Amino acid sequence: QVQLAESGGGLVEVGESLTLTCTAVGHTFSDYGIGWFRQAPGKEREFVACISWASGSRTYYGDSVKGRFTVSRDNAKRTAYLVMRALRPEDTAVYFCAAEVSGLGSKVASGYDYWGQGTQVTVSS
């Protein structure tokens, strides 16, 4: 079992950057695929990015963030990162990190076994 905690959210202006951090406590962090999702008020949870286990050789991105966001991991620090650039008002949401035991990463929220509590990102125009 693993516990996840997101941090780094906040209020930024259009075009600025922000880095979210997902820190894990518990089972070996490197065994898990890590995903990032977001949920805006009144909308369904949306896939943002994911990274495979161990070296994180495989990464996938949602169409709306491709080219602007970068996912990475540092297993020694038990931490995953989501670097968000060129932020837009439509990026405003609560961002969640999640871990899944297959290690492959998934674009589907139901594929994840553990979730953090989320961190709010607000992009002001």
Q: What is the pLDDT of residues 9-51, one digit of tens each?
A: 999 999 999 999 999 998 889 899 999 999 999 999 999 999 9
| CA-based nearest residue to 82, from 55, 62, 102 | 62
Query: What pLDDT shows up at residue 94?
Result: 98
Residue 103 pLDDT grade (very low, low, confident, very high; cuts 50, 70, 90): confident
The reported pLDDT for the residue numbered 54 is 86
pLDDT in tens, 37-96: 999 999 999 999 999 998 888 999 999 999 999 999 999 999 999 999 999 999 999 999
Transcribe 38-53 into DSSP letters: EE-TTS--EEEEEE-S
Do 68 and 85 form a contact (C-beta atoms < 8 A)? yes
48 is written with which tokens? 């943002």
What does the pLDDT average to over 98-120?
Answer: 94
